[in-house]
Amino acid sequence: MHAPELVITVNEYRDRRERVLAALESASAVVFAGNEVPSDSLQWRWTTDRHFWYLTGIDHEGGAALLFDPSAEDADRRIILFLKPRDPEVERWEGARAPLDSALRASTGFDTIARTGSLPSRLTEAARRTKRFACLHPFTSYAAEVSPDFGVFKKVCEHVPGVTIEDRTQLLPGMRAVKSAAEVALIERAVAATTAGFEAALRFIRPGVTERAIAGVVTAAFRSFGGDAAFEPIVGSGANGTVLHYTDLGRTLEDGDLVVIDYGASFGGYVSDVTRTFPANGRFTVEQRALYEVVLEANLAAMAAARPGATTSEVERAATTIVARAGFRDDYLHAIGHQLGIETHDCRVDGPLVAGMVHTIEPGIYLPNRGVGIRIEDDILITESGNVNLTAAIPKTVEAIEAAMAAR
């Protein structure tokens, strides 16, 4: 008997859209998929905007848009999916796209699907009727192009007087931050693949292997477990471990090195993000162990502080207090962590932690003059009473790491 496939169902995507529609009240909003950038590279496949994917489950569909029009008279037209017209020449290269028929409506959960050519008139009509637009895409800094929905709304306002534009940019991050049971299950599967990857690394690491070879072993384990790489691997040995986003993977491990591995698997559109620091020869030196224990204590203190109602500043303070007491505050260079979900660095959310969030906890100490970098990162699920460490199965105490490496 096969286990049920882990996916986000059409009904869950539909429920997400209905929640947005209700929250907007009478304001209209639009979420754009983004436009595929032409490229000769076949390395990475273009993906839609993650807000759009969160609400539709539709990927690789450039030029699409999702309109929320709460005041539309026809209830079936209050949420409309817009797709680009079909292009037979493009489809010869990229595959056939479905027609706008009942099968497509059933598979996507939309009652109304239209072509993008009718979006401008729909937006204009919504503006005339409601006089309210709501921005859902995150705002950009003044040095960048304006966000796509804000830019379109400003153009509509030039043609329809008296329309107001509201800031609702925290609506979707707030929804995305609190995970459903199905989302947690997918993250757990990503964590399971990540665990397999780190177990493979523990068996493989020794002086004489390369950083790139370690990354390859971990990636292969992800894939053998049904996952894939969530982001570019960070494997830094010696002084390279003090570079936070080191991705060159060009060094060969030497006896006495520590190696920092910051990597994670993805599964079903959801990701994990874990960091562990291992000794190349399987044993920490006395100095390395002392530094490692400081970071581990900071990691555990931050996890103990992470609970509903706590702010990320309070969680970070729990870690920095430990690091500062040991005399290494200036050597801890980054924040305590970030939201985790569809993206590795998922949407930032205003306010305290709430049950259902998945957050990373990742203190570190970086001493380039000593050639020592140490970071320990876990993924935790905030619960009603505290949190659960989703990545607890990956060894992180000195004793557990040394025992696992001795068993190679």
Please report the domains of the chain, with CATH numbers, ordered by start residue.
10-169 (3.40.350.10), 177-406 (3.90.230.10)
Where are any strands of DSSP class E within 92-210?
Answer: 112-115, 132-135, 164-167
260-305: pLDDT as tens digits: 999 999 999 999 999 999 999 999 999 999 999 999 999 999 999 9
d(CA 191, CA 196): 9
DSSP 5: P
The CA distance from 348 to 138, in Å, is 10
* DSSP H or E stretch at residue 96: none
Alpha-carbon 132 to chain mean position: 31
pLDDT band (50, 70, 90) for residue 408: confident
Q: What is the dihedral of CA 221, 224, 229, 234, to 10 degrees?
A: 10
Checking if the pLDDT of 176 tops 80, the result is: yes
pLDDT digits (tens, 9 = 90+) for 125-160: 999 999 999 999 999 999 999 999 999 999 999 999
What end-to-end distance do the CA atoms of the chain give, in Å?
A: 34
* Mean pLDDT rounded to a whole number for the chain: 95
The pLDDT assigned to 332 comes to: 97
Cα atoms in the 13 Å half-sphere on the side-chain side of 25: 7
Tell me which amino acid residue 122 is. R
Tell me the residue type at 173. Answer: P
Confidence bin at 78 (pLDDT 50/70/90)? very high
Identify the pLDDT of residue 52: 98
Express each pLDDT in 1-59 by its tens digit: 344 568 999 999 999 999 999 999 999 999 999 998 765 555 567 889 999 999 999 99
**Hey, what are 288's tokens?**
């390395």
User: Above pLDDT 70, what percent of the chain?
Assistant: 97
Query: pLDDT, tens digit, for every residue of 304-363?
Result: 999 999 999 999 999 999 999 999 999 999 999 999 999 999 999 999 999 999 999 999
What distances in angstroms separate CA 54 from CA 20, 32, 175, one per listed residue? Answer: 12, 12, 10
Phi, psi of 333 (to 5 degrees): -100, -5
